[in-house]
């Protein structure tokens, strides 16, 4: 029993859990893990029984954690992400592979006041069937101090290719961002805005002034209205 074992390790500093068999999310003792007052690094790798339909986990039910470096490798419900950041006042590094929506949803509203994550400098997220609409509110609440943002979409994304929306979000809510390292898979919009028009919006003075440059490639030559936009010199 992992939970029982962990209770005998109150001074544990680093923890890596990797489950080889699929399991229900309730079998991961997040409550016990979060209660380890000296834990700084936590990495967990697992697959739910129905991995493409993850369940939302409400981490705020477990209270605050001392974890500073958090790595989550699984299909992770976007509601879990939006709730997760309320729990880690000392968080410095966050990596999730990958965020996904599903029909499992509780629409539980967190009424806690967002905490200022002044130590959070690095965020890396992979998105699957998740768009900026799903996560923008968390960016606004928690990413003010973030220096490095890595984002990858592995399926088609509309709003992640909305350069003007990113300009506003970064200018107002993420003023400390130095590195914007992205790989967006998208295509032209139903209102006839083409893929190239979306890509060209990332060539405005806003992006040039920050020395953030991008290029793109297409899935195949026969279809020029879909492709991948990605950063070219993120870590100059």
Q: What's the mean pLDDT in 73-102? A: 91
Angle, in degrees to the nearest 10, between helices 163-173 and 132-142: 20
Average pLDDT, the chain: 88
- Dist CA 208 CA 159 (whole Å): 21
Domain at 64, CATH number: 3.80.10
Q: Is residue 232 situated within a structural domain?
A: no
Identify the residue with better confidence: 186 or 78. Answer: 78
- Which of 31-35, 36-40, 130-134 has the least mean pLDDT? 130-134
Would you say 2 and 31 are in contact if contact means Cβ atoms under 8 Å apart? no
Of the pLDDT bands very low, low, confident and very high (cuts 50, 70, 90), residue 25 is confident
- Dist CA 206 CA 175 (whole Å): 13
Q: Is residue 100 situated within a structural domain?
A: yes
Q: Is residue 182 situated within a structural domain?
A: no
**Among 96, 101, 82, 95, which residue's Cα sits nearest to residue 142?**
82
Q: Is residue 200 situated within a structural domain?
A: no
- pLDDT > 70: what percent of the chain? 89
Q: Is residue 60 situated within a structural domain?
A: yes
Of the pLDDT bands very low, low, confident and very high (cuts 50, 70, 90), residue 105 is low
Domains contained in the chain, number: 1
Q: Is residue 223 situated within a structural domain?
A: no
Q: What's the mean pLDDT in 43-57? A: 85
**Could you tell me where the beta strands, DSSP code E, fall in the chain?**
14-18, 41-45, 69-77, 93-100, 122-128, 148-153, 179-187, 214-220, 223-231
| 173-185 residue pLDDT tens | 999 999 999 999 8
| pLDDT higher than 80, residue 116 | yes
| pLDDT higher than 70, residue 188 | no
φ, ψ dihedrals at 2, nearest 5°:
-65, -40
- Which of 6-15, 23-32, 128-137, 182-191 has the least mean pLDDT? 182-191
| pLDDT higher than 70, residue 190 | no
Q: Is residue 155 situated within a structural domain?
A: no
- Dist CA 10 CA 38 (whole Å): 7
- Which of 45-54, 107-116, 156-165 has the least mean pLDDT? 107-116
**Domain range enclosing 137:** 2-146
Q: Is residue 120 situated within a structural domain?
A: yes
Q: What's the mean pLDDT in 160-189? A: 91
Q: What's the mean pLDDT in 82-97? A: 94
- Dist CA 101 CA 201 (whole Å): 28
- Which of 19-23, 77-81, 183-187 has the least mean pLDDT? 183-187
**Among 229, 73, 54, 50, which residue's Cα sits nearest to residue 156?**
229
| pLDDT higher than 80, residue 159 | yes
| pLDDT higher than 80, residue 235 | no
């Amino acid at each position: 029993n992992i939970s029982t074992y962990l209770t005998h390790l109150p001074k544990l500093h680093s923890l890596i859990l990797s489950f080889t068999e699929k399991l229900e999310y309730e079998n991961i003792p997040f409550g016990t893990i979060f209660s380890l007052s000296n834990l700084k690094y936590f990495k967990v790798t697992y697959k739910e029984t129905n991995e493409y339909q993850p369940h939302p986990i409400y981490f705020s039910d477990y209270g605050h954690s001392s974890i500073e470096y958090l790595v989550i490798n699984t299909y992770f419900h976007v509601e879990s992400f939006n709730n997760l950041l309320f729990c880690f006042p000392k968080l410095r590094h966050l990596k999730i592979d990958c965020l996904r929506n599903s029909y499992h949803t509780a629409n539980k509203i967190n009424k806690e006041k967002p905490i200022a994550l002044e130590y959070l400098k690095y965020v890396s997220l992979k998105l699957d069937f998740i768009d900026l609409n799903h996560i923008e509110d968390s960016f606004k609440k928690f990413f003010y101090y973030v220096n490095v943002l890595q984002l990858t979409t592995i399926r088609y994304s509309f709003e992640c290719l909305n350069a003007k929306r990113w300009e506003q979000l970064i200018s107002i809510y993420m003023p400390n961002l130095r590195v914007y390292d992205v790989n967006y898979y998208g295509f032209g919009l139903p209102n006839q805005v083409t893929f190239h028009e979306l890509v060209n919006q990332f060539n405005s003075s806003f992006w040039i002034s920050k020395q953030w440059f991008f290029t793109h490639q297409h899935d195949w030559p026969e279809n020029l209205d879909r492709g991948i936009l990605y950063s070219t010199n993120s870590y100059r």
